[in-house]
Structure 1
Amino acid sequence: MTNIEYAAAPEVELEGASEERSDFERIRPLPRISIHAFCETDSLAKTLERCTEDRRMAKVHARINSGGVPAAASMYASSATPNLLILESRQDTEDLMGDLAQLAEVCDPDTRVVIVGHVNDVTLYRELIRNGISEYIVAPVSMADIIGVISTIFVDPDAEPLGRSIAFLGAKGGVGSSTLAHNCAWAISELFESETILADLDLPFGTANLDFNNDPAQGMAEAVFSPDRLDEVFLDRLLAKCSEHLSMLAAPSMLDRVYDFGGDAFLPVLDVIQRNAPVCVLDVPHLWTDWTRQLLSSVDEIVITATPDLANLRNTKNLFDTLAKLRPNDTPPLFVLNQVGIAKRPEIAVDVFCEPLGVEPVAILPFEPQIFGDAANSGLMIAEANARSPIAESISQLAHIVTGRSEVKKRKKSGLSGLMGLLGR
């Protein structure tokens, strides 16, 4: 038997690393509200335009106008005001308060107002707050400032937080993305004793029911085809229990009908799942449709799995480039290189594979058909079938990374060179 050394998973910090995540990434999606902005400077207008492209504002209807507080007062003399007004002003305190008084005469009482000023004055801030202004922020402002302020105003801090959504997608069919998703969901539920929902979105050919040796009568099909019935009670009926903390929305895995969906078909399901579990793992099939595109635009984290060949490299690069445009304010997807070291198969070296992507893999998993085959045929996870396997340890570390409990550190070149030397024999 060929002696292949396991690639060491990236070093991780398991303590306190979640605190290092950007506050911006933790901002929850905003509700369906209308926002009108009046800008006196191009810099603020450009920042607001970038905000409208962010996934956290996907449900927001925004309109950006030129001009300051007087322009707003003139417009709303003959039209209703939106849920939120963002007004930029370069005026001094006296003139600003006079213009706001005119705006107050035409502003609906439930409209919130945020002022972006150019004077750092505590007295002005207190005066504005005393007169009913929701917030005063000093220019220049960032996207995080704008969206953070809106979130503070419209997202209830006492409400239950939305669960973290993690989508697993294969760069090509057969790369092991589904197996990784199922094992990672199980690891999250076991390691952190956190309620986790695994959603198998491959309705005709999904394998989650096989991997967990569980074939429920209902599942994802009923959820996606009955959006009008979908609530917490209905979801609870559709979930199949896999372990103490893991539940599954299984795919029917039948071809008795076609599964054609609109662009937002799975978004209501995702919303309900996120309200009912701290972690949601989505097993996304290798497709590129309107619904997969919208779903990937909406989730918190994406994990792309690939194998080291040319087609996978091309597809992975295309996915990274496209997702960067769809999610311009999010970190790049996480990347797992799987099935490394198949005997006599020419492979692209790990460094060569990663160079055009500009990212390091969070895990490099060797080709071990015995371990994966035994687990799959027994309806077990890798850690259940072989807890001491280095692959089980890599999946455990991946579970820490995708849930924000650890951070990815750069791979050591010495370990890579040793692996590549073995693979080259």
Structure 2
Amino acid sequence: MADNRALKEDFYDEDDPFLDASDVERMMLGEAAFDDLPEEADVDTGHRFGASAVELDDDDPFLVDDETDAHSAPMGDEAVDNPLFAELQSELETAPMGESLYGEIDSDVPDQPVPRITIGAFCERSETGALVSVASEDRRLSKAHVDVQMGGLPAAIERYHDETTPNLLIIETGMRGRGLFDQLEELAGVCDPDTKVVIVGATNDIVLYRELIKRGVSEYLVPPMTPLHLIRTISELFLDPDQPFAGKTVAFIGSKGGVGSSTIAHNCAWALTENLAQDAVLMDMDLSWGTAGLDFNQDPTQTLGDALSEPERLDDALLDRLLVRCTDRLSLFSAPATLDRDWEFAPQDYENVLEKVRRQAPFVALDLPHVWLPWVKQTLLSSDEVVLTVTPDLASLRNAKNLFDLVTGARPNDEPPKVVVNMAGMAKRPEIPLKDFADALGTPPVLVLPFEPQLFGKAANNGQMIHELDPKSKAADGFGHLASLVTGRTPPPPRKKSFLSNLFGG
């Protein structure tokens, strides 16, 4: 308290008619000396986190009218000198459970579950860690993977130097001023662009709040909090009714039948979830001949065909029953794979089902059949990423060229399809050189998989993925590389073994 008062005496003189609020802010952040402040200087925010979910507006409880003295309220405990901060603090101290600055939250917490996202919480106080743990057990977060650790901001920086960041980071810190922003700058440098960040601070601080939002932090929370308060915050970030959460779709299609597009899709989806620790749904959309159930050794009684038959009945509860968990992070929407009926559905039916599946996970892998129907074309062109699998022969090149031109022409503002050459180097088979493929399509392939019938055949017969069977194979590395390309995320570097672990075979 005394230190904050000294800070106020140094930087803030209520009788000084020439002191501007923005000048006070910059001095508190240690970004300018009192005597050499320019009239209009932008604060250098350095690295930014993902797009902030909170906009600065006149209705925000942390902001006040520019003409009031509250705009230049000093940091920390001195904020109580301001009538607005005193009122807010009083509300916080007297609010019953289930209420906060934001009003009653019991009735405002959405009933819809948060999607299958990953959440990393780094707390400084055991009480906050317990609160996050209690919140993670709520039904609304039942699909999310929540990891709670102590250590605050330094622990998060240390961990994510070696790992990919989750979809949401919750960081508790009691720091303020330059030290805090230096550490946030370091954290932003190791964060993936789409990671959202929520800061749990110690006090209501207008200067700190405004600067955090400038740097792309999604929300700033202050105690006291309840589990429902935290759940509501997370829900608002991922269940905005004006911008509903939608996972990224990756469509896999082959240039002709038998090129191995389904194998590429299944192994890439597995690598996406296991190597990059991202939740995903794999949709086998080849209703008559789909092999995803076989490849993952699953035999579900209800399939995608049931959802398409009555798409209007498909809600989150029914969808949970239709999806089959292959791993902790990968869910399968299997195809019926039967010939006892004709699977004829309108493109709108596929679109409606896909729209609901996209609310389930950050990534949705679409295993498309090699047929050319209106729904296939619509699904392909509306996907966020397209992976085109080819083999090095003339028919595949011709069809790939047609598909490539169609997709790039219809999606001028999107990346072109990512081309995967499969079964390259087959003995005694004449092949078109990869350079000719690249010249014809205007882009080189992102992945070339050698012809390895023993490895791929054994994996298919065992109901395993390539990485499970031979994690050191070139194919396993290739699928990990492809997963990184379609997600925009990089896998963590391999951890170096210590001398003792090498000595004892760890």
Q: Give the letter for the 1:374 counterpart.
A: K
Give the superposition deviation at 1:273: 1.1
Q: Distance in 2 between matches of 1:367 and 1:340?
A: 5
Alignment of 1:18-417 (within 5 A): 156=240, 161-405=245-489
* Greater RCO (Cα-Cα under 8 Å, separation 6 or more): 1
Which stretch has the larger CA shift, 259-268 or 276-285? 259-268
Instruction: Give deviations 1:44-67, integer Å, cap 9, x for gaps.
Output: xxxxxxxxxxxxxxxxxxxxxxxx
Conserved 8 A contact 1:195-1:245 = yes
Conserved 8 A contact 1:264-1:294 = no
Give the superposition deviation at 1:406: 5.0
Give the superposition deviation at 1:261: 2.3
Conserved 8 A contact 2:273-2:330 = yes
Unpaired segments of 5 or more residues in structure 1? 1-18, 24-154, 408-425
Conserved 8 A contact 1:339-1:365 = yes
- Secondary structure in structure 2 of the residue aligned to 1:356: helix
Q: Give the letter for the 2:266 counterpart.
A: H
Q: Distance in 2 between matches of 1:20 and 1:259?
A: 45
- Secondary structure in structure 1 of the residue aligned to 2:485: helix
Q: Which is greater in Rg?
A: 2
Give the superposition deviation at 1:20: 13
Conserved 8 A contact 1:336-1:364 = yes
Q: Give the letter for the 2:372 counterpart.
A: W
Structure 1 residues 324 and 200: CA distance shift in structure 2, 3 A: same
Following superposition, which runs of at least 4 residues in structure 1 exceed 2 angstroms of deviation? 155-161
Give the superposition deviation at 1:193: 2.0
Structure 1 residues 347 and 20: CA distance shift in structure 2, 3 A: farther
Q: Distance in 2 between matches of 1:20 and 1:328?
A: 28
Q: How well do the aligned residues superpose, as a CA RMSD in angstroms?
A: 2.1
Instruction: Give deviations 1:166-223, integer Å, cap 9, x for gaps.
Output: 0000001000000010011111111122211000000000000000010100011011
Instruction: Give deviations 1:353-412, integer Å, cap 9, x for gaps.
Output: 1101001111000000000011011100000011110110010010111101259xxxxx
Q: Distance in 1 between matches of 2:439 and 2:279?
A: 37
Q: Give the letter for the 1:276 counterpart.
A: Q
Q: Distance in 1 between matches of 2:489 and 2:400?
A: 25
**Alignment-derived partner of residue 70 in structure 1:** none
Q: Distance in 2 between matches of 1:156 and 1:218?
A: 31
Q: Identity across aligned pairs (percent)?
A: 51
Q: Give the letter for the 2:282 counterpart.
A: L
- Secondary structure in structure 2 of the residue aligned to 1:228: helix
Q: Distance in 1 between matches of 2:487 and 2:241?
A: 21
- Secondary structure in structure 1 of the residue aligned to 2:405: helix
Conserved 8 A contact 2:283-2:333 = yes
Q: Distance in 1 between matches of 2:401 and 2:49?
A: 28
- Secondary structure in structure 2 of the residue aligned to 1:222: helix
Conserved 8 A contact 2:276-2:490 = no
Q: Distance in 2 between matches of 1:269 and 1:158?
A: 20
Give the superposition deviation at 1:306: 0.2
Q: Distance in 1 between matches of 2:246 and 2:345?
A: 25
Q: Distance in 2 between matches of 1:161 and 1:276?
A: 9
- Secondary structure in structure 1 of the residue aligned to 2:358: helix
Q: Distance in 1 between matches of 2:397 and 2:352?
A: 33
Number of aligned residue pairs: give it: 257
Structure 1 residues 20 and 377: CA distance shift in structure 2, 3 A: farther
Structure 1 residues 159 and 290: CA distance shift in structure 2, 3 A: closer
**Alignment-derived partner of residue 20 in structure 2:** none
Conserved 8 A contact 2:437-2:444 = no
Q: Distance in 1 between matches of 2:274 and 2:408?
A: 32
Instruction: Give deviations 1:259-279, integer Å, cap 9, x for gaps.
Output: 122222211111111111111
- Secondary structure in structure 2 of the residue aligned to 1:280: strand
Q: Distance in 2 between matches of 1:292 and 1:158?
A: 28
Q: Distance in 2 between matches of 1:335 and 1:201?
A: 20
Give the superposition deviation at 1:156: 4.4
Structure 1 residues 293 and 387: CA distance shift in structure 2, 3 A: same
Conserved 8 A contact 1:171-1:315 = yes
Conserved 8 A contact 2:273-2:280 = yes
Unpaired segments of 5 or more residues in structure 2? 1-47, 52-238, 492-506
